[in-house]
């Protein structure tokens, strides 16, 4: 190396030395490192931090060797303004050659996975490296160490605070649950709250003891500390708590709206009872007025629902809101179903009367049509009309015969108005 080249190399190495020292001091003062040093670690964090501590000691040993080499080079260069060939050769060997000696302990710590020799011989007491090789090793160990410290610090900065906030929300939800009677072993939501409480306590303890177990690393090419905290368990607990909170709020709404909702259920059941009573009355009328009609039986009132309604009223009086909530929802659904069933039974029972009413309307419509065309006094039409009318307005009414009579009158009316037509099916 020439004099100018040596000077440039010393300037570059000086700047590099200052940058390395700044990085090592920052690593030494890193909040994550201080937390790791004072924590009772377990699992993967304990293993990786033990290796990182060795790397930190090794980094300072490497830095001391680097400092010694740079100091020696500067002293040689300072001997004279224009160094001679001997001094330039010495500087070249020091700056570019493997002139830095590393003790065997530091070398083995730097390469813990290196295979042990199987041949007998004296142990290797030291290793010689160039400045460039030394800097490469420092960069590698620094990146590995910073990755451990930064990852642990990121997890500790993110998860415990979020867990504590969720724990505060959990406590508020437990108080709300207690106010509406939702307790463990008495209501599923109370059991869920107990489970979430235990999960959050376990999760926080595990995060504090083994933060790296909750770290999702980035790609292999990412910078030290690249990645993000793994929040899967936290997110699951948060979702579970939100589900429980909604369920408890539903119970709370029951407490606020229970009286009105019970009144509405009673009203629906009362309408169903009245509809069934109307259906029973209509069935008697049908049996009396319609001959040989297959009229379905009408069911009785829903006594089971009345009993449940009485239970719901008792739950309200005794403020057992967690028991009232599911019962009231069931009553609302079943009361609506009961009213629908009662209406269907009324429609089924009154179907024969509806058929008779339709036949009466059709008969009168054709009579009016015939009268408008001046055929009201036609003997055949008059005879068939009176026969159909007597059948439809007599009791009991034979619907089959009455329908046949109406069809005969309809056929005669159409023939008189339009000429002969095909007879309707059944004539």
Is residue 394 a contact partner of residue 420, using CB atoms and an 8 Å limit? no
Q: What is the pLDDT of residues 275-318, one digit of tens each?
A: 999 998 888 888 888 886 677 888 887 788 888 888 988 888 87
How does residue 426 score in pLDDT terms, banded at 50, 70 and 90?
very low
Residue 310: C-alpha distances to residues 182, 301, 316 (Å): 22, 15, 10
Range name among 99-103, 226-230, 240-244, 393-397 with the lowest pLDDT average: 99-103
pLDDT of residue 155: 92
Residue 424 scores a pLDDT above 70 = no
**What are the residues facing 271 on neighbouring strands?**
none
pLDDT of residue 45: 92
Q: What distance in Å separates the CA atoms of residue 214 and residue 130, rounded to the nearest whole number?
A: 39
How does residue 219 score in pLDDT terms, banded at 50, 70 and 90?
low
Task: Kindly report the average pLDDT of the chain as a whole number.
Answer: 83
* Mean pLDDT computed over 68-74: 81
Q: Is the dihedral angle over the CA atoms 97, 99, 104, 107 positive or is it negative?
A: negative
| Between 77 and 70, residue with greater pLDDT | 70
How does residue 104 score in pLDDT terms, banded at 50, 70 and 90?
low
Q: What distance in Å separates the CA atoms of residue 71 and residue 77, rounded to the nearest whole number?
A: 10
pLDDT of residue 125: 59
Q: What is the pLDDT of residues 339-394, one digit of tens each?
A: 999 999 898 888 888 888 999 999 999 889 888 888 878 888 888 889 999 988 98
Q: What distance in Å separates the CA atoms of residue 369 and residue 121, rounded to the nearest whole number?
A: 130
Q: What is the pLDDT of residues 137-170, one digit of tens each?
A: 888 898 889 889 999 999 999 999 999 999 999 9
């Amino acid at each position: 190396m020439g004099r100018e080249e040596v000077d440039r190399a010393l300037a570059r190495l000086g700047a590099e030395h200052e940058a390395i020292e700044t990085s090592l001091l920052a690593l030494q003062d890193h909040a994550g490192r201080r937390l790791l040093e004072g924590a009772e670690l377990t699992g993967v964090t304990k293993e990786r931090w033990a290796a990182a501590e060795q790397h930190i000691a090794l980094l300072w040993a490497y830095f001391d060797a680097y400092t010694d080499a740079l100091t020696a080079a500067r002293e040689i260069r300072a001997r004279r303004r224009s160094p001679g060939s001997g001094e330039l050769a010495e500087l070249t060997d020091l700056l570019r050659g493997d002139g830095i000696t590393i003790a065997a302990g530091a070398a083995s710590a730097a390469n813990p996975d290196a295979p042990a020799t199987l041949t007998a011989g004296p142990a290797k007491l030291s290793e010689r490296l160039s400045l460039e090789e030394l800097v490469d090793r420092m960069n590698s160990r620094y990146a590995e160490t910073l990755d451990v410290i930064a990852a642990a610090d990121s997890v500790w900065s993110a998860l415990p605070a979020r867990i504590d906030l969720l724990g505060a929300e959990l406590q508020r939800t437990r108080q709300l649950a207690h106010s509406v009677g939702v307790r463990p072993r008495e209501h599923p939501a109370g059991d869920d709250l107990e489970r979430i409480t235990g999960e959050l306590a376990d999760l926080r303890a595990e995060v504090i003891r083994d933060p790296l177990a909750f770290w999702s690393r980035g790609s292999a090419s990412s910078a030290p500390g690249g990645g993000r905290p793994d929040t899967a368990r936290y997110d699951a607990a948060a979702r579970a708590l939100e589900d429980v909170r909604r369920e408890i709020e539903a119970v709370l709404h029951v407490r606020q709206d229970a009286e009105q909702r019970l009144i509405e259920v009673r009203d629906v059941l009362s309408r169903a009872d009245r509809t069934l009573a109307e259906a029973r009355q209509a069935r008697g009328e049908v049996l009396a007025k319609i001959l040989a009609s297959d009229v379905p039986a009408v069911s009785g009132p829903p006594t089971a629902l009345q009993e449940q309604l009485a239970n719901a009223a008792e739950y309200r009086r005794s403020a057992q809101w967690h028991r009232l909530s599911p019962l009231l929802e069931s009553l609302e659904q079943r009361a609506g179903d009961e009213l629908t069933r009662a209406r269907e039974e009324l429609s089924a029972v009154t179907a024969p009367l509806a058929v008779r009413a339709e036949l009466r309307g059709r008969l009168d419509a054709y009579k009016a049509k015939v009268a408008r065309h001046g055929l009201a006094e036609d003997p055949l039409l008059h005879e068939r009309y009176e026969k159909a009318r007597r059948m439809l307005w007599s009791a009991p009414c034979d619907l089959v015969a009455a329908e046949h009579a109406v069809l005969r009158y309809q056929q005669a009316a159409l023939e008189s108005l339009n000429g002969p037509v095909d007879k309707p099916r059944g004539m």
